[in-house]
Amino acid sequence: MVAHIEQFDRKGSGEAVIWRENELGNPKKLRLTIPQTLIGEKVRLTVDQPDRRRRKAMPDEILEAHPERTVPPCPHFERCGGCVWQHWDYEGQLKQKTDHVKHALAEQGYDPDLVRDTLGMDNPWRYRNKMEFTFSPEGELGLHEQGNFRKIISLETCLIASEEMVEATMEVADWVKDHGLVGYNKDLHEGLLRHLMVRQSFETGELMLGLFATEAPSAHQKAVDDLVNRISEKFPQVKSLLWMENTAWADRTQAEEIHLLAGRDYIYDEMAGYRFRLWFDTFFQTNPTQAQKLVDLAIELGQPKETEKMIDLFCGVGTFSLPFASKVGKLAGIEIVESSIESAKRNAEDNGISNTTFLAKDARKGIDEMLESFGHPELLMLDPPRSGAGGKVMRRIGRSKPDRIVYVSCNPDTFATDIKELEPFGYTLKEVQPVDLFPHTVHVECVAILVLK
């Protein structure tokens, strides 16, 4: 079967449509999802059950290649679900991300010319400061196979993680094999090792290793002692070695009890000249090089003034709050996760910042409470999750009437629908700057400024 790739789906795979006749001679449409292809390519593929309406298949042969197609450097690319666009020249990826943002805004009636070209990386490799790897039931450590979360690809390398992170990960993989330890079987809900989380500060060099297991470390004390010795001798930059008990059915890196095997239970990181403490579950921007650009852009577009009050919605541990706090009179941060608010307070104290107030509350209710105690903000910033802030929160922002709104988004589609809610309140979108935090994936971040007429 031959297909022409017409567009991408939301996960970055190519899509094609083939028309055929059914048994009555009527036209029948087959929608195909074809990973590792590019728009405009002509491919040959084998489709099982082609009588269905939708099927997914890998290309057997690229008959007409896109001029920007390139050879993926990672040996795991064809099977791994981590990167979807390693076969595409980086400049092509950046243009696609710009077009995605423009299209999302145009669908809501905005001028796509408000969107600048996406800011990429000089070197779009080794950019991640955090990775989560999974153990197979046999004890192999690696990443999920593309489209199959029950299949683990044994790790040889990872070109988007730092070399030190990969080396430490391989040491843990060898330790598991040397002691004959088993992984967790998701179907049978039995086994020991579930995940390995690796985190590193690019600024301080400190590393954190966190093992997620179904039993306490005391049940495997001899092996645990050997792990501590190996890591201490070979990786002195590991300042936090943790063992997390997790017996829940949900396949997430969560902990019911935390055991500190060596070092402290956090590492230090730095961004925009400020120091942060990161625990295993602390949300922090995964690409520190590009995250610094996000902070700089937010300040550039927001134009904070020493005489102003500012509210930072979805403030997390204060990634944006601390840099902004040094440029405004007072800053209030709102975040629903209590542990993040405690971290934000501690981070402000560690950095000698005393003009901040942090509130652990839902965004919409938090705005109401903060407006009463804090007063009217001239500047408001929000950095919501991928699902967006939602209509209720956006309308509440509109009613609070800040002079300027800085929106940092990790999802152009929810960003566009969110800011549409601000139009009836008199806000005008002035500028949008996309930033590529995740090269070789479909994801793109944006920083935008909206001004009250």
| Cα 154 versus chain centre, distance | 23
Q: Tell me the residue type at 402.
A: P
Q: Is 259 exposed, middle or buried (0-12, 13-18, 19+ CB in 10 A)?
A: middle
Which residues fall within 8 angstroms of residue 132, CB to CB, at 6 or more apart? Answer: 195, 196, 197, 198, 253
Nearest to 335 by CA among 303, 307, 313, 306: 313
Identify the active-site residue in 80, 158, 315, 410.
Answer: 410
Strands 257-263 and 238-245: antiparallel
DSSP code, position 281? T
CB 35 within 8 A of CB 58: yes
Nearest to 346 by CA among 402, 257, 399, 275: 275
Packing angle of the helix pair 163-178, 221-234 (nearest 10 deg): 150
d(CA 319, CA 296): 12
CB 385 within 8 A of CB 337: no
Look up 410 and say whether it is catalytic.
Answer: yes
Q: ∠ CA 309-312-314 to the nearest 5 degrees?
A: 165
Which residues fall within 8 angstroms of residue 71, CB to CB, at 6 or more apart? Answer: 87
Burial track 107-120 (b if 16+ CB lie within 10 A, e otherwise): eeebeeebbbebbb
CB 378 within 8 A of CB 305: yes
CB 344 within 8 A of CB 375: no
Residues labelled catalytic: 410
